[in-house]
Structure formats: C-alpha cells, structure tokens
Amino acid sequence: MAARTIPERRAGCRSSRSKTLPLTKRLQGSSLGCAAAWFALSCLAGAFSFTVQAAEKYPARPVRFVIPFPPGGGNDILGRAFSDRLGERLGQQWVVDNRGGASTIIAAEIVARAPADGYTLLLGTNTTLAVIPSLRDKLPFDPIKDYDPISLMSSSPYLLVVHPGFPATTVKELIALAKAKPGQMNYASPGFGTSNHLSFELFKSMAGVNITHVPYKGTGPALTELLGGQVPVMLASAASVRPLVHSGKLRALGISTAKRSAAMPEIAPIAELGVPGFDTASWVGLVSPRGTPPAIIARLNSEIAAVIKVGDLREKLASQGFVPEASTPQQFATHIRVELERFRKLVKAAGIKLEQG
C-alpha cells in the first residue's frame, strides 16, 4: 500500500518540501526544522544574556584611551583630566595611549579596527571626525560608519590673536589692512587640514579677505613664530593662548563663538566685531568602535555627564578656556554629521586641496 501524502503547509516550523513526501519523512523533517529554530533562538538569547552580563560588569579590566595627539597639548590635558575621573568612578584605570601624527589618522584607525567591547576608546575631535574627512576622499576609517558616538565632552573657542606690535587693534582694522594688501598678509596655523586652518578659511570667506596660509608643525612652533613677529595673526584655541593674552604677549581681537566666554568675558565675539554670523569652535568627545554594546555606551555616557556635573572638573577646565559639555549619543551623532557637512561645504567653497599641505 502506498504511503500516505499530505498537502504542503507553510505555517509554524514545517518544511515546504514536495506535496508527495511520505508522511513519516515529512514529520521527521518538521521536527528537525523546529529543533534547529529553537537552537538558533537559544543561541541568540545566550548571546544577548552574555552581552548584558558583560555590560553590567564593565569595566572588568583597564580601558585603553587613545588620544590622537602627543603629550602636553591642550587636548591631551583635557583627555587626561577626563580619564583620571572616569577611572575613579568606574573602578578601573584608563590607560592613556598618545598616538599623534598623520593629522590624527593613526589613532583613528587604531580604534576603528579595535574590538567593539568598550575597552578601546578614542578622544574624537573635530579634526578627526569632520575636518580630515572633508579633505580626503580615501581614509582608513569612516567617521560615520566606523564609530559609535558616546558623548560630547568639551568645546573650546578660538581667539583671533595678533602680535602686540601689529598695527590692527580691532577685527575691522585687520579686515581693512587685509583688503588694502590682498594676499600680502600671512596667518599661522598648527598645520594644513587642522581645525584652526579651516576655521581661519571660514573667517576669510565670511570677511571677504585674502590672507595667505602659513602652516606649521604644531601649535607650539606656530605660536613661537607669532610671538617673534614672523607671522602677524592666528586663530588659536583659547586654552593654548589665554595665558599669553593675559600676560600681554599677544593681543586678542575677538573670540570665535557667537557668545562671550565665561572665562574671558572681556573678549567680544568676532560676529559682533565685523563678521556677522561667524561662529566656530573646536570640540572633543568620546567614541568607540562601531558595534559596542548599547549598555556599555549608556554607562559611559552617564559617567561623562556625572564627571562634568560633580566635582571640580568643570571649574578647572573652564579656567583654562574649555567649555565642558555632555550630550546624549544621538545628539553627538547629529553634531558630527552637521560638522562634517559644514566643513565639506567650506572646503569646496574655498577650493582647499590636499596637495596644498
């Protein structure tokens, strides 16, 4: 007697084999399919449980904190101030790994290729995540696809500073001098492709002036030349030149943000002094390799907010010209995208090309 057959069904875990499959084989295939499905679901549940447990125990070992600058600079000082306090709150040491060079690309690639487990983190700056990607089509990392934004940490306005012997004492006088001698005046920057460089290009574009860029190998050499009078003007981070302004070694013509700084209320915004709408600042935040468990991101985000809110960090950084500020991961992600688009438009409008550096 021929084996009984059943119509094909698609519901549940049953197989979609031929309608002529013998009933005993059909039921056997259905059981195996259900078993495989349950096994897959069990694996997913186990993986999810492991991720949650790992996040709850995080950090269980020291955290590697990659800073894309040499020791001693403003961003290094800022990063170490945060790492010390985050280490105290989380109960594990944050090991600072200074990986300067190649316009922050070396550090960015290290973190982009690291395991997404929360134990390798990057001090992400506007240079790394917005400026350099605006200048280069080919990079060993993608600022959007390769990182999970965790939180903003701080921003710092720029000061438009000149040598005390320079004839211009106001922003309007500087603009007038530049227009009277187009291309004959120079400005310094810490290097081609830095945020200082592109911010001054934004100033030139909005002020309608032609001032020649002179890139140096870092803020230190640029300031040395500015102090010596070899170059007359520079847009430098407030944290790096504030002491020089207060000592009278440099003259500040204006601040780059739309509002005055609480640490330097006597310095008016450039936007109020002849370049309406001018508003830019350097910023840093914390990012991790893409795929970091959301629970770890949430933990780090809340700890950064607490570090800024509780204790003396805010006051200490503010006294150096920094503006500590936290954000949600979503807000930081939006900020990166907006800044990236802004610098891309600026690079295109100014005709800045990589070979200029």
Contact 159, 236 (CB under 8 A): yes
Find the length of the chain: 357
pLDDT value, residue 39: 55
* Residue 269 per-residue DSSP state: B
Give the residues of the chain that fall short of pLDDT 50. 1-20, 23-24, 26-27, 34, 45-50, 355-357
157-272 falls under which CATH superfamily? Periplasmic binding protein-like II (3.40.190.10)
pLDDT value, residue 28: 54
Rg of the chain taking only CA atoms, in angstroms: 27
Q: Rounded to whole angstroms, how far apart are CA atoms 292 and 295?
A: 8
Backbone dihedral angles phi then psi of residue 108, each to the nearest 5 degrees: -60, -40
Q: Could you tell me the two tokens for 317?
A: 């950084």
Q: Rounded to whole angstroms, how far apart are CA atoms 281 and 199?
A: 8
- Stated pTM of the model: 0.77
CA atoms within 13 A on the CB side of 336: 29
Cis bond upstream, residue 59 (ω within 30): yes
241 exposure class (CB count in 10 Å sphere: 0-12, 13-18, 19+): buried
Residues with Cβ within 8 Å of 222's Cβ and at least 6 positions away in sequence, in order, are 188, 189, 190, 216, 231, 234, 236
Q: Rounded to whole angstroms, how far apart are CA atoms 202 and 195?
A: 10
93-130 tens-digit pLDDT: 999 999 988 888 999 999 999 999 999 999 999 999 99
Intrachain domains 63-155+283-352 and 157-272 with the same fold: yes
Domain locations along the chain: 63-155+283-352, 157-272
280-331 tens-digit pLDDT: 999 999 999 999 999 999 999 999 999 999 888 998 888 888 889 999 999 9
Backbone dihedral angles phi then psi of residue 29, each to the nearest 5 degrees: -65, -40
Contact 282, 125 (CB under 8 A): yes
pLDDT value, residue 225: 95
User: What CATH number does domain 63-155+283-352 carry, 3.40.50.1950, 3.40.190.150, 3.40.50.2300, 3.10.580.10?
Assistant: 3.40.190.150
